[in-house]
């Protein structure tokens, strides 16, 4: 009787189902399965996924690990990024001797954001930081967090921080941060997998427990896309712009890459740097490599100057003309930036940025570099007018020297028009009280709106004031422009020295 029961079809089917489930469970949980994590040597690899998804990998890189995939790089291997390196050296000093900072109540920056255009050296800086500190360094691409399965990205963020906390102090480097850090959607239901992942990252950065002993470094080419909650102090405390190098920086980069190669002493790297304004560090490295390839093709023992000249032509042929500056363009941009810089020194309420350059200038976070002296929220009309004058100073300088404006002023006009419209319609600084508090800016379209006349008058007044001040300080304007064309970059101290040497004084704006 018992045998007949065991041989029934339904009993056999149920038994096969139990056996099949047990086999699948063993396959999923054994080492190397999709639900397991493993640590081997100096490299931590965490895998999580379902179906046919690619396993999630986190690279832990240590200088002491001979099997690490990344070769050891230090700050000595980085050239032309002295400002960014000086900011990161403080992090290195903290990790090497935390007691020196802790006894004064200082804490390690929670996060550092490296931003700038592609090819300028953001990832290289992160690798150099890993080589300098010697602490566990976790490298991951932000794109590997985002999947189609809800909750999987958030789980991967938790997994990453758990591994980093277990070996604290440690550093996490997330490349292409905008892939998970961009602005969250307006969908209040929170159904997007992308939003879940970002929310988990925010919690890990400074939640109830906080990411104790873990510093995060992010790199992005699009900082304007990053969610404001991710950029606030306590999460990303420090922002470091990685610019295209100036003339001195380009020469250092070229020499750095040429030092390990048999290059003829007849090659004048200063001359090469002078003719490659606007190129990134990656493109400069490519010039040296192309020169070596050409020399090998011609069966030379050393790289000759003609090889480098042809390499420059090859790289420039594939570079957009807008990124490479001719002598005429350098002169025009020099005058434009000199107008901004001189007015920022002469006018109260506006402070020059730490450096003025004709190579790159941008408002990466939606804010013009020619803005207020600090982040005060309460400003007077006089101070706002000083901002307008400085913003219009580049265009005014062009009109003063060349008699016509250029496209360089496009961003300046956008910021100036926005500030003037805010003064008229939101702050009622021209007496239009009836416009204050309106919420229909987006519906205005292309017309000038009810306050358009006042906005135009403010901008015209600012440009005329800029031209008058620049005309009275024409010698300083020419000196700053010529120095910018020659050196491509001026520090704030050098700028003030030029103005003081010319006898320029502070101008007080009237309301």
Q: Which residues have a catalytic role annotated? A: 337
Listed in sequence order, the residues at least 6 apart from 50 whose beta carbon sits closer than 8 Å to its beta carbon are 34, 149, 152
What residues does 45 pair with on adjacent strands? 38
Per-residue tokens: 370: 């020619």
| Largest CA-CA distance found in the chain, in angstroms, rounded | 115
Q: Is 327 exposed, middle or buried (0-12, 13-18, 19+ CB in 10 A)?
A: exposed
What's the start-to-end Cα distance of the chain, in Å? 107
Helices and strands: H and E segment counts in the chain:
20, 10
Give every strand in the sheet of 137-141, ordered side by side.
59-61, 137-141, 170-175, 214-220, 111-115, 238-241
Residues in the chain: 511
Taking the C-alpha atoms of residue 331 and residue 397, their distance in angstroms, rounded to an integer, is 12
Q: Which of 147, 211, 210 is nearest to 179 (CA)?
A: 147
Taking the C-alpha atoms of residue 432 and residue 338, their distance in angstroms, rounded to an integer, is 35
Taking the C-alpha atoms of residue 21 and residue 341, their distance in angstroms, rounded to an integer, is 72
Q: How far is CA 49 from the centre of its chain?
A: 31
Taking the C-alpha atoms of residue 135 and residue 131, their distance in angstroms, rounded to an integer, is 9
The answer to whether 235 and 205 have CB atoms below 8 angstroms apart is: yes
Q: Is 450 exposed, middle or buried (0-12, 13-18, 19+ CB in 10 A)?
A: middle
Taking the C-alpha atoms of residue 184 and residue 375, their distance in angstroms, rounded to an integer, is 25
Taking the C-alpha atoms of residue 121 and residue 244, their distance in angstroms, rounded to an integer, is 9
Per-residue tokens: 294: 């050409």
Taking the C-alpha atoms of residue 455 and residue 446, their distance in angstroms, rounded to an integer, is 14
Q: φ, ψ for residue 330 (rounded to 5)?
A: -60, -40
Q: Which of 195, 190, 177 is nearest to 114 (CA)?
A: 177
With DSSP H G I counted as helix, E B as strand and the rest as coil, what are the percentages for the chain, rounded to 5? 50, 10, 40
Q: Where are the beta strands (DSSP E) in 41-177?
A: 43-46, 59-61, 111-115, 137-141, 170-175
Q: Is 99 exposed, middle or buried (0-12, 13-18, 19+ CB in 10 A)?
A: exposed
């Amino acid at each position: 009787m018992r045998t007949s029961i065991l041989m029934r079809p339904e009993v056999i089917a149920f038994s096969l189902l139990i056996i099949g489930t047990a086999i699948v469970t063993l396959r999923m949980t054994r080492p190397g399965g999709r639900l397991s994590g493993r640590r081997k040597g100096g490299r931590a690899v965490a895998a999580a996924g379902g179906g046919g998804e690619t396993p999630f990998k986190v690279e832990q890189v240590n200088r002491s690990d001979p099997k690490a995939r990344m070769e050891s790089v230090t700050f000595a291997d980085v050239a032309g990024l002295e400002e960014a390196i000086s900011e990161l050296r403080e992090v290195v000093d903290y990790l090497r001797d935390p007691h020196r900072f802790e006894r004064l109540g200082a804490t390690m920056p929670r996060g550092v954001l490296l931003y700038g255009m592609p090819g300028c050296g953001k990832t290289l800086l992160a690798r150099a930081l890993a080589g300098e500190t010697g602490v566990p360094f976790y490298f991951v691409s932000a794109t590997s967090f985002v999947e189609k399965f809800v909750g999987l990205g958030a789980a991967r963020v938790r997994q990453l921080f758990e591994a980093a906390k277990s070996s604290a102090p440690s550093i996490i480097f997330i490349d292409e941060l905008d892939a998970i850090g961009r602005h969250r959607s307006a969908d209040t239901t929170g159904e997007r997998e992308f939003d879940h992942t970002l929310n988990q990252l925010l919690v890990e950065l400074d939640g109830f427990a906080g990411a104790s002993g873990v510093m995060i470094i992010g790199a992005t080419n699009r900082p304007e896309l990053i969610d404001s909650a991710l950029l606030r102090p306590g999460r990303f405390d420090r922002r470091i712009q990685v610019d295209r190098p100036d003339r001195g920086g380009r020469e250092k980069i070229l020499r750095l890459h040429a030092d390990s190669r048999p290059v003829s002493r007849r090659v004048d790297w200063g001359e090469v740097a002078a003719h490659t304004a606007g190129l990134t560090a990656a493109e400069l490295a490519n010039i040296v490599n192309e020169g070596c390839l050409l020399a090998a093709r011609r069966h030379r023992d050393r790289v000759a100057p003609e090889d480098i000249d042809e390499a420059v032509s090859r790289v420039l042929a594939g570079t957009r003309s807008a990124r490479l500056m001719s002598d005429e363009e350098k002169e025009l941009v020099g005058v434009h930036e000199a107008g901004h810089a001189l007015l920022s020194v002469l006018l109260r309420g506006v402070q020059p940025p730490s450096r003025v350059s004709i190579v790159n200038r941008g408002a990466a976070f939606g804010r013009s570099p020619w803005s207020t002296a600090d982040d005060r929220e309460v400003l007077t009309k006089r101070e706002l007018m000083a901002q307008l004058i400085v913003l219009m100073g580049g265009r005014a300088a062009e009109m003063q020297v060349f008699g016509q404006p250029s496209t360089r002023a496009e961003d300046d006009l956008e910021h100036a028009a926005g500030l003037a419209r805010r003064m008229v319609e939101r702050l009622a600084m021209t007496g239009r009280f009836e416009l204050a508090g309106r919420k229909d800016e987006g519906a205005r379209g292309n017309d000038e709106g009810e306050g358009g006349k006042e906005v135009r008058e403010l901008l015209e007044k600012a440009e005329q004031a800029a031209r008058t001040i620049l005309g009275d300080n024409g010698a300083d304007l020419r000196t700053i422009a010529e120095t910018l064309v020659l050196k491509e970059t001026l520090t704030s101290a050098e700028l003030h020295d030029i103005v003081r040497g010319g006898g320029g004084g502070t101008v007080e704006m009237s309301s």
